[in-house]
Structure 1
Amino acid sequence: MKAVTPFLVAILFLLGGGASAQETAHAPGWVVLPLEEYRMLHGRAYPTERGPEPPPVDATLTRVDYDLRIENEVAVGRAVLTVDVLKDGWVRVAIPAGLLVRKAELDGKAVALVPSGGERGGGQLSAVLSHPGRAALSLDVVLPVAAASAQESLMLPTAGSGVTRASVEIPRQGVDIRLSGGILSEHSESGAGSKWLAYGNGSETLTLTWQRKVEDHRGSEPLRWRGSLTQLVSLGEDSTAIYAEANAEVVQGLARDIRIRVPAGVTINQVMGALVADWNTKGNELVVTFLEPVEHSARFVVTGETRLPRDGKIEVPLLRLVDPVRETGGVGVEVTGAGEIKDLKPRGLENADASDLGEIVSSRQSPSLVAFRFRVGGAEMERALTVDVTRYTQQAVLMANIEEARYKVLESKDGKTLVEARYAVRNNQRNFVKITLPPGAVLWSASLAGKPIRPGQAPDGSLLLPVEKARGGEEAPAFALEVLYVARASAWSERGKFALSLPAVDLPISRTGLELFYPPLFKVTADPGTFRTETYADPMSVALNAGRDELVASETRAGAETPAAPQRKDTQSLLDQFSAKSKTGRAAGILPVRISFPAFGPSLFLVSELTSENQAPAVALSYQQEKKGGAR
């Protein structure tokens, strides 16, 4: 037992020491991390600086300079390529395709050119450079010269550079050169030939085309030209406007200016044309100067004005071309305002249609317009025109109007309405009058000046009635237009209100009269509105009174006649008439029958003024049934 006790004490001592060591390893302030996590956190706390990104390209071709000389069918010389190398190490720089390179040097040392494809003798040539920075690659090149008819051309290929500069020397003098893909900067000539300097964009082909300069002797030849002058003269009451269109066709030489003889009192306001540089008036001549000498043709427009008498005999001012070989054209004269041309005295002119003188005259809408064509001849031919103008006092003219409208309305207790509408129309322009009946109305008959007519129908369902039209310049007489129709409404009760709608006409109406006949058992009054109650009066229009008088006379004659005994008709004659009518076939339509309006019962007369076009007149009425019968 004594031996076991020391052993237990030793074990407890060791266990206590181990626990103390563990508590010391996990003391506060200490963190144990894996090595990988520690390196990640250290990299975030102390990031390393990133190096510069590599350039997007290895090298770039900044500029190409050509210095060439034309020798027979080729151009020989030197091409200097300015290259900026951006990458360390070996880089390839492509040589422009199409160049025949005889020798290549870099900083005075020969450089070998290798194909880009890697195969010997094939593909585009490239120079291989090893040092970054700017380098000038010098090439001895040869380019072919293309010849076509009398022209020669040299094409410099695209290089993908920023700028292309080309100096080309041609061993000839008197050469005209054209350039495409760039601009010509300098030109000089010496005993050795001509030298040209051009600049272009490296992404486009630079093409030079030249030919021997052709001497133009037209400038030394005397001028011969043909002219055409078309003018329009508008005779106004206060001033006269002149509009002229001139065309010059050069036959020989060069035309630096054109002269036009201007009549006295005419002021030139403007000369317009694509080739016109300047113009001025010297005495009685207008001098029109061109931007450059005209070789073929030129056109310009002259506008001016003058003051002439208002009416009477007027000498029309005519512009004349100076020194043409032949002068053609014409003149149109119009009267603006209320007036017309009564008499004409032309000299050197021929009558013509306005359409023959072009749009300058044919586009005019003046009712008083005359046109003349120049007789073919030179500048020495005499031309003059005298017109006799008559002016009129201007008056307002209405193209179409209804001076008076009369309505007869027969109203029944069950809601049926019979309406006779009569219009006194004056017209000098319209072919039809559009009448829109109230909804649900049915047309019974229509007549024009007492004769039955068959109306048409518009797309909107309204009626189109033909009307008489007066001749131009005459006062339009009034004629009667009549329409008879039936409409339905709700039946009347003992007391109530109803609205009477009348047709809408597409013409203004000056005066309106309405005669309403209603059932005797009722009393009808008009509510306040556009219509007012007045004592009955006959129509003021002669056309409506004439139609009424004829109708009354015909009814009187019919009543005065005694019925005669029926006479026998020849049976064979009746058969012949029936056979003839049967052979002609069916008629195209049936004309409406004119019906006399049945005026019955007590009446009410209403009037109104100034009804606008397409407005449907309406009357608001009140009715009440009388206990002991109605009284008129």
Structure 2
Amino acid sequence: MPLINSLIEKMKIDKILILGLIFIFLFSISVNAVDTDDWMICAKYPNLDVLCGEDNVTLPEKPPVDFIISGAEYRGVVKEKSASITAIYDLEVLKDGWVEIPLLSSDVAIANAKLDGKRISLLTKNGKHELITNEIGKHKLEIDFLVKVYSDVDSNNLKFNIPRTSVSKVWFEIPKTNISVSIASSFSAEITESNGKTYASAVLTSTDLLSMRWSRKIEIPEPEILEPRIYAEVFTLMSIGEGIINGDTTVQYSIVQAGTAHFTVSLPTDVDVLDVTGSRLKDWRVKEDKGRKILDVYLSSEIKGTYQLSVKYEKTLQGTSAVSEIPRIQILGVEREKGYIGIEARTNVEITVTDVSGANRIDVKELPYPIVSRTKRPILLAYKYLKHPYTIILDIKKHEEIPVLSAVIDSASFITLVVGDGKSITKGTYYVKNNRKQFLELDLPPNSRVWSTFVSGGPVKPAKSKKGTILIPLSKSMGGESRVSFPVEIVYITEMPGMGYLGTSDFVLPRVDIPISRADLILYLPEEHDFLRFDGNMKEVKERRHYIPEIPAPTALGGAPSNAMLESQVKEVEEFRGAVQKAAEKGVLPVQVSVPQQGKVYRFSKLMVTEDQRPWVQTIYINSEIYSWFNLIVFLAVLITVLKAMKRLTMVVNIWDWIGRKKSLIILIVILAFIAKYTLPSTFNSALIAAVIALLLGSVYLGYKKISRMGRARRGRRSTESRLKEEIMNEK
């Protein structure tokens, strides 16, 4: 057994050695197959794409271009009519197989070509010299060729097409000196001269044309340092005020030949410079020199061309009325100066010219725009001057001023509600144009109390003057000279005597210290009264009466206002007044108050209410029930009277004789009717209706009576005829 086991173990070792030798032999064969080009591994596989997929072997991609020219260098020697040039290209062929590489244009003469030191031939195709090769990799190509040199009157040049590369260097030798060389599409150009020759080198941008031009240098003399030549045009507006002359001068400079950063202006010594403005202005200073003030203006940098400088100044006069020369402004350091002067009056001064020399008077319409555009006031005098000195002396007279309105009320509207117990609530809105007035002063009617005041929609605190008038603070109107009016609102209550059965009532509006162009009043009067006539300085606007109830009120049967409705109306106003009185406190801003609009509506208007006038309206009233009974009595009386009169007319033989006898009575009736029409219009209407009805009834009665009389006459004639016939028959 031990022998057998040892033999088996030896056989296992021999098997392992044999397997190792076989593995080493096969591995050596595989290594030689990879390293040797003549070996190839062939395998059958159903899908080669899977074998060469993303997870296995990636096949090489086709290059995007066939070749690359990474750099080029051109070195040439210029001769009289041609140039000998050597081009050196760094190539890299990427495509497997034959590749055509276009190089130079066909208008150059190829002398020699070498690829990697070996002579080659180039192909001429499509106007290009081309290199044909099938060798992949990097190469160096050298080409010797000739280019024609073109000459004209004062320069020479050469040019030819080249392949576009990322880097192209040129170097030329020109057998001349004192020449100017320019190479198109180049930078970092260097031009040097040595041994009677000129050498030019440069780096080209990515271009497909090499062009070089050279010509004899032209000596440019050093520029002569020129002094600036300055011309000035002056536009001056003189504003004459009370004891002062304000000047506003604009100088329009024209600067040629050279720039400047300094301007000088001369002014009289009695003139104070207020302000100097202009672009690039750095500083300005005033000094006195030889009886004049010199204004030096400094800019931050030199300027050439046109420049505008503005100077504002003033001259103080001895008084509001004086004889004075206008300030004469002179521009120093200029070749020529001309100017225009416009003179205006800022206040109510009278300006008279006493003496003029060196300046010509022109029409105001001839003044240039820079003067006219600076003022909205009328320009009184205009002058033009072409040189210095000039003199314009004015006689200035100040006249006494007349006070004018600083505020005016364009319109005022009032709404007044009157209740039966005599109380009235009025809301007045004044549309005010104010320049500088501080308060609107109102003299309210007697027994009146203010409830609220608003200005421009905002609450304000009213004050009370020593005279007992109400002062409402005003704001200033906006909009410049054409000011816009703003509303001033006041609501107040007035204690008045109650209305009885018959009487008169006065409705008085506040008196203000500003004239009113137009005042309008809407008057709401109690329903239980009729108002026979209106008097006062406000004219009634004839419109149809209508009702604008805010709160629905119950009415009695038949549509007439009931006592319950009237009591409800009075109660509402009392509650409204009580609420406002509880809210009214000193020093607290008022609340907005709306006046109830309910009752019989009447409208009144007045044009031009002066400060000493108070708009007012007076009415004659009567209880509506009494007035209704009175109108009924008048109606019946007129009806009966006219009927009786028509009955009597039937017994009158001559109507005109009857009218002559009753002439005084008829005139009296006409006068009474005329008075009733304007004092008792409702009564007049009742009487007129009664008269018309009576006339219609009388006419019907007279017609009926006439027809009856005619019928009786016909019957009488018939009976008479029949009786005569009977008598004749009896006689026969």
When normalised by structure 1's length, the TM-score is 0.45
**Larger helix percent:** 2
- Normalising by structure 2, what TM-score? 0.40
Work out which structure has the larger RCO, using CA pairs closer than 8 Å and 6 or more positions apart in sequence. 1
Rg: which structure is higher? 2
